[in-house]
Amino acid sequence: MTQQKYKWNDTPFKGPMARARGLGSAHDGLHHWKAQKLTAVANIPLVLWGVWSAMTLAATGASIETVYGFFHQPVNAILMILFIVSVFYHMALGLQVVIEDYVHSCKKPMLLMLVKLGTTALALASIFSVLKIAL
Q: Give the chain's domains with CATH numbers.
A: 28-134 (1.20.1300.10)
Name the phi and psi angles at 61, rounded to 5.
65, 45
pTM of the model as a whole: 0.79
Mean pLDDT of 47-57: 96
Q: Please state, in angstroms and rounded to a whole number, the distance separating the CA atoms of residues 123 and 80.
A: 11
Summarised one tens digit per residue, pLDDT across range 4-46 is 666 556 666 666 666 666 555 666 778 899 999 999 999 999 9
The answer to whether the beta carbons of residues 133 and 71 sit under 8 Å apart is yes
Q: Please state, in angstroms and rounded to a whole number, the distance separating the CA atoms of residues 99 and 102.
A: 5
Mean pLDDT of 65-85: 97
pLDDT at 14: 67
